Each structure stands twice: as structure tokens, then as C-alpha cells.
Amino acid sequence: MPAQDERELRIVGFLCNWCSYGGADTAGVARFTQPTDLRIIRVPCSGRIDPLFVVRALLNGADGVLVSGCHPRDCHYAEGNFYARRRLEMLKRFLPITGIDERRFEYTWVSASEGQRWQHVVTEFTRRIHELGPAQSFNPATQEEWFNLALNEASKGEACACHGS
């Protein structure tokens, strides 16, 4: 277990009700100790998870976002995780261009019986986020930073990666 004395980071989880939320319950019932950083949002199906929820969390300053659903083919709603897989994969692949470290977002599949796997996923993901450290805020955190940003911008004129070349 990672040391509990370090500062907690903000990790948001989106879990489908039928498999992964049940898996997290199973882990709890079995008393599989896990880091405490993660906060879980329950949704009916991974197909309900809009990649924009993940983006919203990251832009709000979440240090990590973890999505988990039923294993492909085991979706309670037959097809939800098939759609989710495509949507989430595209988000994960897209993040690098934004400069947001794509390792801050992960998606996986955990069934209701896989308590141990859930413990492993949470532990590993939390460890990864702690290695990455706190996420940089997209909005400047202080007045000074806001001011610097404005100055920076004003001095640049046409600050464009393309048109300058």
C-alpha cells in the first residue's frame, strides 16, 4: 500500500453499476485495502459515460480519472461497453495534443466478481497518479498567474504553432 501520510490526490472514478461498481463492492466486502484517493461516481453503464465527463473532471483539476465497465461481451445492456470502448479509446489517444498527460486517464474492465482485480487497478492507478504528481491547473491558480498569462499572451501577438512557420 502506498504511504498514507502523503497528500491525497483527487482521482475521480466512473463505474458502471452492474459490473465494476459491484466489483468495487466485492473488494470492500473482502476487505481488500486500497488507497483512499479515489471517489466513485456510479452510472448505469459505461455506455453512459460521456468522454466529456472525463474532460470536465480533468479541466476542473482532477489529478486522475479512472473509468471501468463490464468486460466486452458482458455488458448488462449488451452493447454499452462496445460504444464506451470506442469513445474512451479516442479520448485517450487525443489527450496528448492537449498537453494533458494521457496517463492521468485510464479505462478498464472489471466484473462484479473481480474484487481482487479492482484492488489491483485502484492501487496501480493511484500509484501512477502519485508518480505523476498533482495536475497543473488549466486555469491559473493565483492572481499573479492570471496576470502573467495576460502579459505573455499580449507579447506574443500571433502565437500560433502553424502560422509562424
Partner 1 sequence: MSQLEELKAAIRGHLDSLDCVIGWEQGYDPLHATPLFIRNESDLERLSISPLAVHNPATYATGFAGKKIGMVVRGCHSRSIIELLNEKLIERENVVLFGLCCDGVVSQRKIRTALPADPGFVEAVEIGDDALHITLAGEKTTIKLQDVLADKCRICAYPDPLLADVLIGNKHDSRPEETLACQEAFEAKPNAEKFTFWQDTMSRCIRCYACRNVCPMCVCQDYCIAASRDPLWMSQENSPAENFMFQMIHVSHLTGRCTECGECERACPVDIPLMLLRRYMNKQVQEVFGHQAGTSLDKTPPLLTFQVEEARIKERDW
Partner 2 sequence: MRIGVFICHCGSNIAGTVDCESVAELASGFPEVVYSTDSMYTCSEPGQEGIITAIHEQKLDGVVVASCTPRMHEPTFRRAVERAGLNRYMFEMANIREHVSWIGKDKEHNTNKAADLVLMAVEKLRRNRPLVPKSFETIKRVLVIGGGVAGIQAALDCADGGLDVVMVERDQSIGGKMAKLDKTFPTIDCSSCVLGPKMVDIAQHEKITLHTCAEIEAVSGYVGNFSVTIRRRATYVDWTKCTGCGVCTEKCPSKRSPDVFNEFMGTTTAINIPFPQAIPKKAAINPATCTMIQKGKCGVCAKVCPVGCIDYEQQDELINVDVGAIVVATGYDLFDWHKYPQYGEGRYPDVITSLQYERLLSASGPTGGHIKRPSDGKEPKNVVFIQCVGSRDRSVDRPYCSGFCCMYTAKQAILTKDHIPDSQSYVFYMDIRAPGKGYDEFTRRAMEEYGAQYVRGRVAMIYPHGEQLMVRGADTLAGTQVEVPADLVVLATGVEAAQGAVKLGETLRVVPDQYGFFVESHPKLKPVETNTAGVYLAGACQGPKDIPTSVGQGSAAAAKALGLLSKERLESDPAVSKVNLSRCVGCQKCIGTCPFGAIKAITDRQGKLKAEVIETVCQGCGICTVTCPQGAIQLEHFTDNQILAEVNALCPPKMNASFE
In the complex, the residues that contact partner 2 under the rule CB under 8 A are 4, 8, 10, 12, 17-18, 21-22, 24-25, 27-29, 31-36, 39-45, 47-50, 53, 56-57, 59-62, 73-80, 83, 87, 113, 119, 137, 139-143, 146
Give Cα separations from 123 to 79, 86, 119 (angstroms): 28, 25, 6
Among 52, 127, 133, 134, binds partner 1 (CB under 8 A): 52
Q: What is the crossing angle of helices 115-132 and 20-29, to 10°?
A: 100
In the shown chain, the binding pattern of residues 64 to 93 toward partner 1, with x for contact by CB under 8 A and - for none, equals: --------xx-----x--xx-xxx-xxx-x
Least separation in angstroms between residue 29's CB and partner 1 is 20
Quote the CA–CA distance of 162 and 165 in Å, as a whole number. Answer: 6
Helix segments in 30-163, DSSP class H: 51-60, 80-98, 115-132, 143-156
Decide if 28 contacts 116 (C-beta within 8 A). Answer: no
The option from partner 1, partner 2, none interacting with 128 (CB < 5 to 8 A, set by class) reads none
In the shown chain, the binding pattern of residues 117 to 146 toward partner 1, with x for contact by CB under 8 A and - for none, equals: x--xx--x-----------xxxxx------
User: Under the criterion CB under 8 A, does residue 57 sit at the interface with partner 1?
Assistant: no
Nearest CA to 1 out of 32, 39, 40 is that of: 32
Q: Which residue shows C-alpha cell 492537449?
A: 98
Max CA distance (Å), the chain: 59
User: Under the criterion CB under 8 A, does residue 159 sit at the interface with partner 1?
Assistant: yes
Nearer to partner 2, 50 or 101 (CB): 50
Quote the CA–CA distance of 145 and 165 in Å, as a whole number. Answer: 28
Nearer to partner 1, 5 or 158 (CB): 158
The option from partner 2, partner 1, none interacting with 76 (CB < 5 to 8 A, set by class) reads partner 2
